[in-house]
Amino acid sequence: MIVVAVVGPTATGKSDLALDLAEALGPGAAPATAGLVPGDAPAEIVNADAYQLYRGMDIGTAKVPPGERRGIAHHQLDVLDPHEDSSVARYQAAARADLDAIAARRARAVVVGGSGLYVRALLDEMNFPGTDPEIRTRLEERADREGRRALHAELARRDPAAAESIGPANTRRIVRALEVIEITGAPYTANLPRQEYVRPAVQIGLDCDRATLDARVEARVARMWESGLVDEVRRLASAEQGGTGPGLGTTAARAVGYAEILAWFRDETGEDEARAAVAANTRRLARKQMGWFGRDPRVRWLDAGSPSLLDDALAVVAAADTGALPRPEEGPVRRSLGA
C-alpha cells in the first residue's frame, strides 16, 4: 500500500491534514474519491519531525497532544530524552521498521513532518556507510604528508563524479569520500541520496503565500507563549542552562523556540527579544523547508488554506493508488513563497 507523506513548511497545518487523511484512509471510512484503496486496519501516523522525537519537547515543537490524536496510532514521537543527540541513521532504521509493521497490518502509513532530511531518509534510497577511525586517520595523515591535491587525484581515479563534485580544496570531504570508498568497496557517489523511493510513496506538500504564512507563524508563537513554552524550556534545561531539569543536549538545544529562550536564560537577551527571535527564526525555518521540499519534483503541492484541502489530498492519494499520478515533470508547479 502506498505510503502517504504530508510535508512542507512549519505552521501550514501538516499535522491536522495528516490526522484527517488517517481517518479517511482507514477501513471504516467511505471517501467519495474513486480509486482510493482503503486499508484493512486503521491508518497510522509516522512522525518525520526531528524535534518531535524528544520527550517533553511538546509546546515548542507543536506536537499533537495525546488527547487530540483521535485514537490514531502515532510512531516516532517521544523516543529520545532531550539530552540525547538524534541520529538520522537511527531514525531511518526505527521508522522504516514502523512502516514495515504498519504494512504487515495491511494499514496505510501517513508520514508527517517538515524535517526534509528525515523524510528523505525514511522514503528514499539513502545509505549511511558509517566511519572507520583508522582509515580516516591514515587518510588525514596522507593529506598532511602528500597534500590534499594528491588525495583529490586519487579520488578522481576511483570516483571521477565525486572528485568533480567535491573539488580539490575541500580536504574534509575528500577524506570522507575516500573513507567511504574503502569501507564499502563502492564509489562514494553510489552512497549519496537519490530521489528514488524505497517503497511506493506519494508526497503531498502544503503551500502558503508569504503573508499568510507569516501571520500563521506569529499566531503560533503567541499560542506557544500563552501555553507555557517558557516553563517547558525551564523544566527541560539544566541549571547550567538556566533551568531546573536534566538538560538539553546539543541537538535539542538548537531547536527553534528553545535556543532563543536558552539565550534569554543566559542573560544574553530579554524576554521580548527572545520572543521576537522565535518568530523570526520560525519564519526563516519555513523558508528553508520550502526551499528543501520545493526542489523535489515529486511533491504534489496543495493550497494549505483551501476549503477543499482534504478532498484535494484524497484525490492525489487516489491518483497514486491507481497509477494515474502524472510524472513529476508533468505535475503542478509550486507557487513561490513570495507570491
Same domain for 18 and 90, yes or no, is yes
Same domain for 117 and 30, yes or no, is yes
Beta strands in the chain (DSSP E): 3-7, 41-47, 74-75, 107-112, 124-125, 194-197, 201-207, 299-303
Helix, coil or strand: residue 247: coil
Q: Is 15 annotated as a binding residue?
A: yes
Residue 191 pLDDT greater than 90, yes or no: no
Q: Is 10 annotated as a binding residue?
A: yes
CA distances from 12 to 137, 292, 300, 305, 312 (A): 46, 15, 15, 8, 15
Same domain for 223 and 310, yes or no, is no
Contact 247, 82 (CB under 8 A): yes
pTM: predicted TM-score of the whole model, two decimal places:
0.87
State the first-to-last Cα distance of the chain, in angstroms, to the nearest integer.
Answer: 36
Number of domains forming the structure of the chain: 3
Average pLDDT, the chain: 93
Same domain for 257 and 109, yes or no, is no
Q: Is 13 annotated as a binding residue?
A: yes
Same domain for 91 and 152, yes or no, is no
Same domain for 270 and 306, yes or no, is no
The CATH number of the domain holding residue 228 is: 1.10.287.890
Q: What is the pLDDT of residue 221?
A: 97
Rounded CA gap, 246 and 242, in Å? 11
The CATH number of the domain holding residue 55 is: 3.40.50.300
C-alpha cell at 11: 505552521
Helix or strand run (H / E) with residue 2:
none
Q: Is 12 annotated as a binding residue?
A: yes
Whether 335 maps to a domain, the answer reads no
Q: What is the pLDDT of residue 327?
A: 78
- Each residue's pLDDT tens digit, 9-21: 999 999 999 999 9
Average of pLDDT values for 244-273? Answer: 96
Residue 231 pLDDT greater than 90, yes or no: yes
Whether 339 maps to a domain, the answer reads no
Residue 174 pLDDT greater than 70, yes or no: yes
Q: What is the pLDDT of residue 339?
A: 41
Average of pLDDT values for 119-142? Answer: 93
Whether 201 maps to a domain, the answer reads yes
Same domain for 173 and 113, yes or no, is no
Average of pLDDT values for 111-126? Answer: 96
Whether 282 maps to a domain, the answer reads yes
The residue segments making up the domain with residue 77 are 3-127+197-208+293-330
Residue 244 pLDDT greater than 60, yes or no: yes
Q: Is 184 annotated as a binding residue?
A: no
pLDDT bucket at 338, cuts 50 / 70 / 90: very low
The CATH number of the domain holding residue 165 is: 1.10.20.140
CA angle 203/81/248 to nearest 5° reads 100
Of 40-49, 256-265, 320-329, the range with the lowest mean pLDDT is 320-329
Helices 229-236 and 210-227, axial angle in degrees (round to 10): 60
Same domain for 54 and 202, yes or no, is yes
Same domain for 64 and 201, yes or no, is yes
Q: Please give the biggest Cα pair distance in the chain.
A: 69
